[in-house]
Amino acid sequence: MNFGLENVGSVAVLVPKYLQLVDSPYGGFDVEFIDSNDSKVDLPGRSWSAPPNLLRSANERKEDFFLLEPGYSYGRTVVLSNVPKKRGIYKVVARFNGPSMLRSDRTEEGAGPDRVVRGTYESNPQVVTVK
């Protein structure tokens, strides 16, 4: 599966260097399978919670980010090991969850060079067949 981010804005934004298929304090992707009844398929082992000592301010972890200029994309290809076992046609949605935002970051959000991409962004559904 290919997943990534595209900067469609007019200013450069900071994105995590290491795009992961986990929910981490640095942000990450989650993949959701939706069955023919429009129900989310529950797949175990897809969540991760950060211990409090990993939730450092974005300004303290800038070495883990890079500037993604307007009009450019950044992504990677992964092999999904956790897919539905039942045969059928599914919709697949990739969702990027931006880095954790601490209270100390909130006053600095969008200011100066600290334009860490925040929030949740969802792909258009793609149809796949599990055989």
Q: Could you state, in order of their start, the residue ranges of all structural domains in the chain?
A: 2-130
Distance from C-alpha of 62 to C-alpha of 128, rounded to nearest angstrom? 37
At 4-39, the pLDDT tens digits run: 889 998 988 888 887 777 666 677 888 889 999 999
At 75-91, the pLDDT tens digits run: 888 887 788 889 999 99
Three-state secondary structure along 38-70? CCECCCCCCCCCCCHHHCCCHHHCHHHEEEECC
Does domain 2-130 fall under CATH 3.90.550? My reply is no
Query: How far, in Å, are 40, 43, 65, 80, 96 from residue 90 at the CA level?
Result: 10, 13, 33, 14, 19
| Contact present, 14 and 65 (Cβ < 8 Å) | yes
